[in-house]
Amino acid sequence: TEAEVLSYLERSAKADGSKPSGTIYFMKNSDIRSSTRHDCFAEVADQIRRKAVFAKVVDGVLPNGANDVAGLMTGAATFDLKAANVTIKPGAICDHLTSFGGVLSSNSSQTPLTEFLRAGAAGASGTVAEPHAIQAKFPLPTMQLHYVRGCSLAEAFYQAVTGPYQLLIV
């Protein structure tokens, strides 16, 4: 709703540049949406930790019970943050590498990127047309590293994606 969108913008503006404490989660699972990123997770998490920010590579779709999500990269067409008892910190960037995460209609076959915003994230992305599992069309895990290093949310996204042609970044 319009009221929701305004509240997301206000919350994100207050979090801008605040570098909230928390953990950046990189979720590994057998879904192609996740497995195309696995080779990058450990190194990126290592570099984030060198910046004195917590980062974890975890098996699963969501970090169940995590109340400190400062960033999240997962690969799943559908997910339920409430059922997983996940708390996303204001200012977080979240991404789920889906074919239709940017399709914002009630009959979409996949969880829309707006679920991350509704749960507290400042930014998320999703494609609006079938991009297949072509990594260049989605943000690399380095997006989280760019953000930790002080880039704006938009800068972090655009430095981490080579071909954003079908990608909606919100």
> How far does the chain reach from its first CA to its final CA, in angstroms?
15
Give the CA distances from residue 26 to residues 5, 74, 127, 133, in Å, rounded to whole numbers and listed in that order: 27, 6, 20, 18
Share of the chain above pLDDT 70, in %: 99
Say whether pTM exceeds 0.85.
Answer: yes
| Side-chain half-sphere CA neighbours of 69 within 13 A | 32
114 in Cβ contact with 158 (< 8 Å): no
Checking if the pLDDT of 20 tops 80, the result is no
Distance in angstroms (rounded) separating the CA atoms of residues 35 and 145: 19
Q: Are strands 123-127 and 167-169 parallel, antiparallel or unpaired?
A: antiparallel
Which amino acid does the sequence have at 60?
Answer: G
pLDDT tens for 66-124 read 999 999 999 888 899 999 999 999 889 999 887 777 888 778 788 888 899 999 999 99
